Structure 1
Amino acid sequence: MFEQHFKALDNEIRKDSGVSTEMDYVEQTSWLLFLKYLEDLEKNKSLEAQLNGTSYTPIIAPKYSWSAWAYPKRADGSLDVNKALTGDDLRNFVNNDLFPYLRGFKNRADSAASLEYKIGEIFSELTNRIQSGYILRRMIDIINEMRFQTEEERHELSALYEDKIQNMGNSGRNGGEYYTPRPLIRTIIKAIQPKIGDRIYDGAVGSAGFLVEAFEYLKKSKGDKLSVKDMQTLQNDTLFGKEKKPLPYLIGTMNMILHGVEAPNILHTNTLAENIMSIQEKDRYDVIIANPPFGASEDIASVEQNFPIRSSETAYLFLQHFIKSLKAGGTAGIVIKNTFLSNGDAQSVRKELLSSCNLYAILDLPAKVFTAGVKTVVLFFKKGEPTKKIWYYQLNLNRNLGKTNPLNESDLADFLACLPSFKQTENSWTVDVKDIPQDTFDMSVSNPNKSNEAVYREPTAILTEMAELDSQTAYLLAEIKELVK
């Protein structure tokens, strides 16, 4: 129903000189979708109030509602072209009037947990990049035809929005850090099996894929027995996240909203700026699921002091934060570069993890699970008792992964089947912690069931990978040319 609308939006926005990348497309489409969502939400709230014999005060002032500035209507429901802004008038209103008004919610809101505050947060660092008011008008006309009012409509919109996020993740440059393949996220959640009542946290929320999938999993976990109270718990007291950068904060918030979380508990803050020694019991969570960014993407001098084990690798800092933020008895599933298992800089973090938590499983993933080709593992651990044995599972596939041949849930089905009993197979084995070198705590993946003989790939597989790399290189060169214009 909405696929053609999304295609039409992409066709319009690509004509504008103010946007150039897939990330720009997602960002600019997102704020327009968000404002249309608010319009429909306000209508639903007003209707519910009438049915209950109560009153409802809209969040958005009449002048700034979608139906006032974006799509004023005649009596027959068609666009009132005499009142509808377009061209420079529309662009100037958005930039100089609408955005400042929306940013002001951050100061006017009563609580940081309110939707009003989220509105202010989203628009505080966001700018309208669409330079042509005529293109903006056509985009508004397309979005106005989209509805957020039924479960079916929201489901389709959320699926299409996820596709846009995935395209952004595949587009190169920094897009990949916002997108974790959904089959992997669903598998991590199924492995941990959270329940309604758990507090679930992602301190590097990105596009909120972990929180969205946890929400969907928990909704389905009770089937028809999901009560109103359960839904209130899911909406308000279950899903929590933090995100530093404005673009993923917007995308993550929008993604959760489209999946049915009305006021997402995502804080726009730098997780690593928090001193982990100040984390108290009330700040801890039952479940932590995340794929923290790696590399020296922080001003390390300013954040290192917040951690007892200092490192220039942000992923190692995040892991310390997650260990400290987990309740006793709580469980975590964390995606991290496989070099964590052996890197000398991570030695002290590994020691801390093994001594304070039961690292009961490590899932070793192929390099091409992520489009950047980075080799990763998933650490599964429970806080409160030291590790005695680690069960390893090495995901070996009989095909090469890539953009046109991505990871799917069936690839991970055997892992989920073997995990409960820590089954020993050709691809899984157990290591006693006493057998890990106590001077380095090296936990490198070394499958004892596999020979060390070289494995040669088929020529067609090599040519396919070369073609994918050529495509990525061409994309990056095109982006560089855009940047230097």
Structure 2
Amino acid sequence: MSTAQTRRLVARLWNYCDVLRDDGVSTIDYVEQLTFLLFLKMGHERANRKSFPDLALKPVGDAWQWLLDSDGQELEDTYNHILREFGQRKDTLGVIFRKAQNRIQDPSKLKKLIVDLIDKEQWSSQGVDVKGDAYEELLAKGAEDIKSGAGQYFTPRELIAAMVSCIQPGPDDLICDPACGTGGFLLAVHDYIQHHHGNNLTPEQRDRLAGGGISGVELVDGTARLAAMNMLLHGIGKPNGRSLIEVRDALAEPAHTYPSVILANPPFGRKSSITVVGEDGRAGREDIEYTRQDFWATTKNKQLNFVQHIASMLGIPGRAGIVLPDNVLFEGGAGEVIRRRLLRQFDVHTLLRLPKGIFYAGGVQANVLFFDKKPARPDVPWTSKMWVYDFRTGQHFTLKQNRLSREHLDDFVKCYRPGEPREHRVETERFKPFTYDELIVRDKVNFDITWLKDPSLEDSDKLLPPEVIAREIVEDLTTALAEFTAIAEALEQGRDRPSTA
């Protein structure tokens, strides 16, 4: 990969963002418009190359030429027509253009973006790494736009890389992310398999990886298109083939496939327009309700529902790694029911406590829960020990001055001992085991376990910089506000519920 080439591409494309922002085009809207235009340009190149032209992309190639040949109002009308036509397709192309809209209302600026920034570059001749890494950087820049809320769909790539290193996906695994966002986990899995198994992959394994062995589900159309484009630019899938990204509500129905590997960062936030009715038979009042008999408990908490969904869809044998907010570790009611079931029916072997300041979405305190699914064993709990790694205490990161790097997670991965029997694990200052018997007697089976003291609270010489303290105060207040909002909503729903007396 050429870092210089990647930076050059990103710089060229990003310079125009400030111009469009003055016209009300947000950062993430700009990335979305780039997605449409980049795809059309690459389709044009592939459909018109001298050697082995891709005739299936001929309509895409023609569409780009129409844009080049149009000006003024005709250009705007042509662009809108292309977006509507391609959005009706049933393949990957259809996912990328699904419900697409033109956000660039000034035809002259749209023309400049088409001619001066995109058409002058031969995108198909760029290496997969250059194109893919450039697009990843654009997505990261889009995630930095806090006002757009795009950060909630972008998991830090350094954390993803560490999780994938622990899970160790292989070419024969069926891999899924049921809340895939912009596709970070899927790309990291593909990269890991190529790096560790690429020279030994059979033709069947290569076809499987490119054609469905790695897949994702995303609820939001705009985010799904970014994920689909992200995968195509990294050489995964085909524009005119079946989309590897499904656009739907993953929680709406039980899974039809049972992956052996699931990696996910489900959307944070407690409020949902859907209530799941679990095997306990309870249901809350909401606009939409559906029943999941494969769920253990009824809850409006989206993260708890995703834990149940992933537990249900995971194949046997299967392994999962999920990013979860703190409330999933200690919330009572449905949370306690789910944690008890997990400990008994799954091997819940590792919990990574994450520090503040690593997510683009503010106010997030998160963890990574790793568990394996094995054949049913009704008489003996599958969890014998849950190892907890405290990466939170004494760690302080920001998105600007002190960013999380992959090296910061090296010690955790070393302690995890990927691929080794867990009997080989060694207790350290930050890494401690807790037995099933110790966990099950904790109040509400609480996983919110800490034992380290923050040195900055004990030593005045180690006080944090003012900007870090200010950011942590903001994050604490944001988290507290979210919790109080959830309590208020629960009280209102209880007050509005008709009496059964």
Pairs within 5 Å for 1:80-479: 84-95=69-80, 97-106=81-90, 117-141=91-115, 142-150=117-125, 153-173=127-147, 174-263=149-238, 264-274=243-253, 276=254, 279=255, 283-300=257-274, 301=286, 302-303=288-289, 305-306=291-292, 307-345=295-333, 346-371=335-360, 372-384=362-374, 386-396=382-392, 400-404=396-400, 405-420=402-417, 421-438=424-441, 440-447=444-451, 454-455=457-458, 461-465=464-468
Distance 1:104 1:357, change over 3 A: same
Question: Secondary structure at the residue paired with 2:122?
Answer: coil
- Partner Cα distance (2:188, 2:233) in 1: 12
Q: Which amino acid aligns with 1:218?
A: I
Check the 8 A contact 1:295/1:312 in 2, yes or no: no
**1:477 — aligned with what?**
none
- Partner Cα distance (1:224, 1:63) in 2: 34
- Partner Cα distance (2:327, 2:387) in 1: 18
Give 1:364 deviation, angstroms. Answer: 0.8
- Partner Cα distance (1:341, 1:457) in 2: 32
Give 1:377 deviation, angstroms. Answer: 0.8
Farther-moved stretch of structure 1 (393-402 vs 336-345)? 393-402
Farther-moved stretch of structure 1 (223-232 vs 86-95)? 223-232
Give 1:272 deviation, angstroms. Answer: 1.5
- Aligned pairs, how many? 434
- Partner Cα distance (1:470, 1:153) in 2: 44
**1:11 — aligned with what?**
15
**1:81 — aligned with what?**
none
Question: Secondary structure at the residue paired with 1:382?
Answer: strand
Question: Secondary structure at the residue paired with 1:368?
Answer: coil
Deviations 1:16-49 (A, max 9, x none): 36543221121111111122222234346x8337
- Partner Cα distance (1:470, 1:32) in 2: 41
- Partner Cα distance (2:156, 2:328) in 1: 20
- Partner Cα distance (2:196, 2:60) in 1: 40
Check the 8 A contact 2:456/2:464 in 1, yes or no: no
Structure 1 length normalisation: TM-score? 0.82
Question: Secondary structure at the residue paired with 2:445?
Answer: coil
**1:112 — aligned with what?**
none
- Partner Cα distance (2:324, 2:199) in 1: 36
- Partner Cα distance (2:73, 2:389) in 1: 58
What's the Cα RMSD here? 2.7
Check the 8 A contact 1:363/1:393 in 2, yes or no: yes
**1:30 — aligned with what?**
35
Farther-moved stretch of structure 1 (217-226 vs 331-340)? 217-226
Give 1:63 deviation, angstroms. Answer: 7.8
**2:484 — aligned with what?**
none
Deviations 1:104-143 (A, max 9, x none): 323xxxxxxxxxx222233231101111111111111211
Check the 8 A contact 1:397/1:411 in 2, yes or no: no
Distance 1:397 1:255, change over 3 A: farther
Check the 8 A contact 1:2/1:146 in 2, yes or no: no
Which stretches in structure 1 are left out of the alignment for 5+ residues?
Answer: 50-55, 72-83, 107-116, 473-485
- Partner Cα distance (2:199, 2:320) in 1: 28
Deviations 1:183-217 (A, max 9, x none): 11011011011100111000001000000110111
List structure 1 runs of 4+ shifted beyond 6 angstroms: 469-472
Check the 8 A contact 1:5/1:143 in 2, yes or no: no
Check the 8 A contact 2:264/2:323 in 1, yes or no: yes
Distance 1:105 1:60, change over 3 A: farther
- Partner Cα distance (2:459, 2:140) in 1: 31
- Partner Cα distance (2:411, 2:387) in 1: 14
Distance 1:356 1:134, change over 3 A: same
Question: Secondary structure at the residue paired with 1:381?
Answer: strand
Distance 1:194 1:229, change over 3 A: same
- Partner Cα distance (1:288, 1:460) in 2: 40
Farther-moved stretch of structure 1 (284-293 vs 247-256)? 247-256
Deviations 1:43-90 (A, max 9, x none): 46x8337xxxxxx64344378332x2134xxxxxxxxxxxx2122221
- Partner Cα distance (1:349, 1:328) in 2: 19
- Partner Cα distance (1:402, 1:63) in 2: 43
Check the 8 A contact 2:263/2:321 in 1, yes or no: yes
Check the 8 A contact 1:396/1:427 in 2, yes or no: no
- Partner Cα distance (1:419, 1:434) in 2: 22
Distance 1:37 1:200, change over 3 A: same
- Partner Cα distance (1:140, 1:458) in 2: 55
Give 1:48's match in structure 2, choosing from 52, 59, 63: 52
**1:65 — aligned with what?**
63
Deviations 1:265-311 (A, max 9, x none): 1101111111x3xx45xx10000000001223431232563344111
- Partner Cα distance (2:474, 2:40) in 1: 36
Deviations 1:165-200 (A, max 9, x none): 112222214111111011110110110111001110
Distance 1:217 1:398, change over 3 A: same
Check the 8 A contact 1:289/1:333 in 2, yes or no: yes
Give 1:397 deviation, angstroms. Answer: 7.4
- Partner Cα distance (1:460, 1:390) in 2: 33
Give 1:373 deviation, angstroms. Answer: 3.8
- Partner Cα distance (1:287, 1:351) in 2: 22
Check the 8 A contact 1:426/1:450 in 2, yes or no: no
Structure 2 length normalisation: TM-score? 0.80
Q: Which amino acid aligns with 1:157?
A: K
Farther-moved stretch of structure 1 (453-462 vs 14-23)? 453-462
Check the 8 A contact 1:338/1:376 in 2, yes or no: yes
Give 1:399 deviation, angstroms. Answer: 5.5
Check the 8 A contact 1:148/1:154 in 2, yes or no: no
- Partner Cα distance (2:122, 2:341) in 1: 50
Q: Which amino acid aligns with 2:350?
A: A
Q: Which amino acid aligns with 1:431?
A: F
Q: Which amino acid aligns with 2:226?
A: I
Check the 8 A contact 1:335/1:377 in 2, yes or no: yes
Distance 1:254 1:460, change over 3 A: farther
